[in-house]
Amino acid sequence: MHLIETRNLCYSYPGSVKALESISFIAPRNSRIAVMGSNGAGKSTLFKHFNGILKPTSGSVLIRGEPITKANIREVRKFVGIVFQNPDDQIIAPTVAQDIAFGPTNLRLDEETIHHRVEEALRITGIEHIADRVPHHLSGGEKKRVAIAGAIAMEPEVLVLDEPTAGLDPRGVHDLLGFINDLKQKSGMTVIFSTHDVSLIPEIADFIYVMDKGRIVAQGTVAEVFVRTELLKSVRLDVPHYPKLIQSLREKGIPVEMAFTFEEAENAFLEAFKGRS
């Protein structure tokens, strides 16, 4: 049974603006899934179906094999935590700790449990030092972590991140990518994230969906998707730097094994040029 599954999901905004068409998507347990697509591809609209913010025009959304209903929507929103692109849309409390406590408090948990969840979310996201700060005085990267901590405090099994690196400086991007990798390794949480920055994906994704104009136009592993250069160009996406460089070298007659991450590329180059002065 998949944690999340959509079957022929279609959605149209008021005015018959079709945003999603025949989307079939699965999220297995303990996975990291990237959803790629240029602006307007439908990524955010898809994500809003995962915990019932939007309802399909047709098709279905299943959470642990069950459709989302009024009866189970509360449990679904505990199970699937969503962090939107702009953290200011989710941060509402006077301090960081109070904001993180907002969700667990609404679940009517006891004070001891709420305190434990807040402390654990602060620890996991590495923001214990700003627990008493005013959220809106924080940097963009810190706000992202506060929003993520608020979702984690609900103890979801699936964490959905909509363009999590948007607006971050290089250091913030590096830290956030490390955090996403740690989530899988330390907690077994499934992470679904969207981005149009393809260079990030090989470092953190197990599986990729490519969206364009509300449709899934490709899916597969990093190695399966990023060799489809013409398709990616057709949907206004680029190929990550390492495979692009290696393909260029191959075309010049230099045999280098294909690689997608820094570590893979380093090993491929060392092997290809071994013994050369």
Query: Helix 111-125 vs helix 96-106: angle between axes, to the nearest 10 degrees?
Result: 130
276 pLDDT above the threshold of 70: no
Predicted pLDDT of residue 112: 94
Average pLDDT over residues 191-210: 90
- Cα–Cα distance, 57 to 96 (Å, whole number): 37
Q: Residue 187 to residues 47, 77, 184, 271: CA-CA distances in angstroms?
A: 22, 19, 6, 35
Strands of the 17-27 sheet, one edge to the other: 17-27, 4-13, 58-63, 66-67
Mean pLDDT value of segment 208-222: 96
The tokens describing 170, both together, are: 């290089």
pTM of the model: 0.89
Q: In terms of pLDDT, which residue wins out, 27 or 273? A: 27
Domain range list for the chain = 4-239, 240-277
For residue range 240-251, what is the model confidence (pLDDT) as tens digits? 889 989 989 999
pLDDT digits (tens, 9 = 90+) for 54-80: 999 999 999 999 999 999 998 998 899
Please tell me the distance from the alpha carbon of residue 4 to that of residue 66, in angstroms, as a whole number: 9
- Name the band, by pLDDT with cuts 50, 70 and 90, for residue 126: confident
Q: What pLDDT is stored for residue 17 in this prediction?
A: 80
The CATH code belonging to domain 4-239 is 3.40.50.300
Other beta carbons within 10 Å of 93: 16
Higher-confidence residue of 87 and 190: namely 190
Distance CA 260, CA 23 (A): 27
Going by pLDDT thresholds of 50, 70 and 90, the confidence category of residue 90 is confident
